[in-house]
Amino acid sequence: MKGPEPLIFELSSPGRKAYSLPASDVPEKDIRSLIPGGFLREGEPDLPEVSEVDVVRHYTRLSQLNHGVDIGFYPLGSCTMKYSPKVNEWAARLPGFAWLHPYQPEELVQGALQLMYELQQYLAEIGGVDKVSLQPAAGAHGELTGLLIIRAYHRHRGELGRDKIIVPDSAHGTNPASAAMTGCRIVEVKSDSRGGVDVGELEKVLDERVAALMLTNPNTLGLFDENIVRIARMVHDKGGLLYYDGANANAIMGYSRPGDMGFDVVHFNLHKTFSTPHGGGGPGSGPVGVKEKLIPFLPVPTVGFDGERYFLEYDRPLTIGQMKAFYGNFGVAVKAYAYIRALGAEGLKRVSENAVLNANYVMRRLLEWYDLPYDRHCKHEFVVNPRRIKDRTGVKTLDIAKRLLDYGVHPPTVYFPLIVDEALMIEPTETESQEALDYFVEALGKIAEEAERDPEKVKTAPHTTPVGRLDEAGAARRPVLRWRRGA
Ligand SMILES: *Cc1c(COP(=O)(O)O)cnc(C)c1O
Return per-residue pLDDT of the chain as tens, 487 residues.
Answer: 445 554 467 888 999 999 899 998 988 888 888 888 889 888 888 888 999 999 999 888 888 888 889 989 999 999 999 999 999 999 999 999 999 999 999 999 999 999 999 999 999 999 999 999 999 999 999 999 999 999 999 999 999 999 999 999 999 999 999 999 999 999 999 999 999 999 999 999 999 999 999 999 999 999 999 999 999 999 999 999 999 999 999 999 999 999 999 999 999 999 999 999 987 778 999 999 999 999 999 999 999 999 999 999 999 999 999 999 999 999 999 999 999 999 999 999 999 999 999 999 999 999 999 999 999 999 999 999 999 999 999 999 999 999 999 999 999 999 999 999 999 999 999 999 999 999 999 999 999 999 999 999 999 999 999 889 988 899 899 988 887 766 6
pLDDT of res. 100? 96
245 lines ligand 1 (CB under 6 A): yes
Whole-number pLDDT of residue 410: 95
Question: Which of 3.20.20.10, 3.40.50.2300, 3.30.470.10, 3.40.640.10 is the CATH number of 86-342?
Answer: 3.40.640.10
**pTM higher than 0.75 for the full model?**
yes
Edge-to-edge strand ranges of the sheet holding 164-168: 131-133, 288-290, 265-268, 241-246, 210-215, 164-168, 185-189
Cα separation, 61 vs 480, whole angstroms: 19
Structure confidence at residue 29 (pLDDT): 87
Q: For residue 310, is it left (φ>0), alpha (ψ between -120 and 50) or beta?
A: beta
Q: Is the CB of 140 under 6 A from ligand 1?
A: yes
Ligand 1 within 6 A of CB of 413: no
Q: How far apart are the first and last CA of the chain?
A: 29
Give yes or no for residue 139 CB within 6 A of ligand 1.
Answer: yes
Domain segments of the chain as ranges? 28-64, 86-342, 350-477
Contact present, 443 and 424 (Cβ < 8 Å): no
Q: Is the CB of 168 under 6 A from ligand 1?
A: no
| SS (HEC) of 378-396 | CCCCEEEECHHHHHHHCCC
Cβ 212 vs Cβ 166: under 8 Å: yes
HSE, CB side, 13 Å, CA atoms: give it for residue 351. 25
- Cα of 139 vs centre of ligand 1, distance in Å, is 5
Architecture in CATH of 350-477: Alpha-Beta Complex (3.90)
Helix/strand/coil percentages in the chain, nearest 5: 40, 10, 45
Within 10 angstroms of residue 34's Cβ, the number of other Cβ atoms is: 9
Residue type, 307: G
Answer yes or no: is the C-beta of 250 below 6 A from any ligand 1 atom: no
329 CB near ligand 1 (under 6 Å)? no
By the 8 A CB rule, do 352 and 253 touch? yes
Give me the helix-helix angle, 330-366 and 434-453, nearest 10°: 50
Q: What's the CA gap between 357 and 377, in Å, rounded?
A: 10
The four Cα atoms 30, 34, 35, 40 give a dihedral, to 10 degrees, of 0
Q: Report pLDDT for 8.
A: 66
Q: Which atom of ligand 1 is nearest to 271's Cα? A: 7
pLDDT of residue 279: 78
| Nearest alpha carbon to residue 209 among 150, 162, 152 | 162
Quote the pLDDT of residue 1: 44
Q: Which of 170, 172, 219, when mutated, tests ligand 1's pocket best, judged by the most ligand atoms within 8 Å of its CB?
A: 172
Query: 199 C-alpha to center of ligand 1: Å?
Result: 24
Collapsing DSSP states into helix, strand and coil, what is residue 480?
coil
